[in-house]
Amino acid sequence: MPSERPASESALWEDEDDAPEPAVSALETLSLPDDEHHDDDARLVFEELADELAEATRGLSSTRLAYRHPAYQEILAMGELVIPWLLERLDTPGDRPIWLRLLGSLTRFQPGAGSNTIPEAAAAWVTWGKLLRNAR
């Protein structure tokens, strides 16, 4: 029987206190592709991996444990290309901790650092993504 999702996302966020302080501008230079130029095959691979990872990590007490999952490693290996897709995934409340961890692994900037709640951290990342897009 699959594990039940924790009653609160905060249990999954507690191990994130060691996140580094932001050291660079929110508009750091990333080579994010335009939406219309995303590779459709890469997007499909990402979606399959993200769905697999979300399913496999439901109910984990720590997002650090998810780092060992092959899907996590494969998404990470896809690099900056997946950042816009991870930002979209923040719309799914129960899975936010894993997407936040992946985003933090892919960028030097941590817009959610210092947030008190997962929704606040997710909102900070989404705002950062919009600023980055508008700056291009």
116's tokens: 């008190």
Sign of the dihedral defined by the CA atoms of residues 60, 56, 79, 132, in that order: negative
The pLDDT tens digits of the residues spanning 6-65 come to: 444 444 434 444 443 333 344 444 555 555 555 889 999 999 999 999 998 887 777 777
79's tokens: 């690099």
Give the SS3 label for residue 57. helix
User: In this structure, is residue 108 part of a structural domain?
Assistant: yes
User: In this structure, is residue 58 part of a structural domain?
Assistant: yes
Q: What is the pTM of this model?
A: 0.70
Residue 34 confidence (pLDDT): 53
Q: 80 is in which domain, residue-wise?
A: 37-135
Question: Could you give the residue ranges of the DSSP H alpha helices within the chain?
Answer: 10-13, 40-57, 63-66, 70-77, 83-89, 96-106, 118-135
Q: How far is CA 77 from the centre of its chain?
A: 14
Region 85-90: mean pLDDT is 95
CA distance 29 to 11: 33
State how many domains the chain has.
Answer: 1
Residue 46 confidence (pLDDT): 97
Residue 82 confidence (pLDDT): 96
Residue with tokens 């980055």: 132
Give the confidence band of 123 by pLDDT, cuts at 50, 70, 90: very high
103's tokens: 């985003």
64's tokens: 């650090």
Residue 109 confidence (pLDDT): 81
Residue 58 confidence (pLDDT): 84
User: In this structure, is residue 2 part of a structural domain?
Assistant: no
Residue 33 confidence (pLDDT): 52
User: In this structure, is residue 16 part of a structural domain?
Assistant: no
- 77 has a pLDDT exceeding 80: yes
User: In this structure, is residue 20 part of a structural domain?
Assistant: no
User: In this structure, is residue 89 part of a structural domain?
Assistant: yes
